[in-house]
Structure 1
Amino acid sequence: MQTVSPVSSGQLVAAASALPQPPRFESRTMQDRRNFMRRYETYLTAINALQTQWGGAFAMPVGACIESRTKRMVARYEFNTAPHLITEEQWIGYFMKANTPSHVDYASVDKAMKKLQMRTAWSEPESRMMNLQADLEAVLDQFNLTEVAFEHEQRRIVKYLANALAPASFKAAIATKLTLHENKRYKNEVVPFCAWVTTLMREFMTWEQAARAAATAGQSSQ
């Protein structure tokens, strides 16, 4: 988890109401912990952006972002001690523990990924790909497998993305291209695959638009 960059000298920012506000944790599940960590990291990034050689802003410690009743419960059942005896490092460790998958169940992930589908509402290929990537990670996040999958299962992720491409004609074209030897690397590396598909999608959309315009012009001339 990030920490606040030190300020060499000067006063701290005093306009607290204008500062980024820290997240608040009052939840129960491991997913809640992960969501809190993401919000806290976003908060710290904003706070660190305010650190200069002339001044800066205090970041609220993780332990101070926990709702009081929730803090007492966690202190009692997780640490078996009083809240004021738990260090900031221990609180950070409590949240970081949620990043460790309890088990890896790719059969369930495979089933969930069958619903993954590229949305074609946008006219830019980058927008279509970015939204597909976000939908993919949302599914992986449900199983707490995003980091593990990207480290060990890139080929599986490429398969998820390839199966989700749309429209069907473009999906079929990519499937055919993936059988070619010169495109072998794209089957095993997610980032190059996404960049490659985005480039081909732009070409496909240009061709599709030209074909549609030609068809419309042909109908008008009749």
Structure 2
Amino acid sequence: MPVGACVEDERRQLIALFDICKPLDTITEKDWIDYFWEGRISGELDFEKVKTIMSAKLKMDTQLADANSRVSKLAHNMYRILEKEIMEWMVEGEPKKK
């Protein structure tokens, strides 16, 4: 059974309009799954914690001459830090800020 079929019609329209921000007929099964997986993140997102962790642990390697290499290494290190803190889901999509 498709995930979207588990939601009442009226509720499905509201979710499409306000949460997923797509017309109802263009929402894919992946969109529905992603929407419901967002529910596993409970409570407020603590962006201050992420900011503190990143400013303390994330440093750019200025010894690398190539800018692309520096950025690539920085992004890789950022993902490793988030993964260690069990926050790797933050790089998969931009979280909604309230």
Q: Please report the TM-score for the alignment, with normalisation by the length of structure 2.
A: 0.43
In terms of Rg, which structure is larger? 1
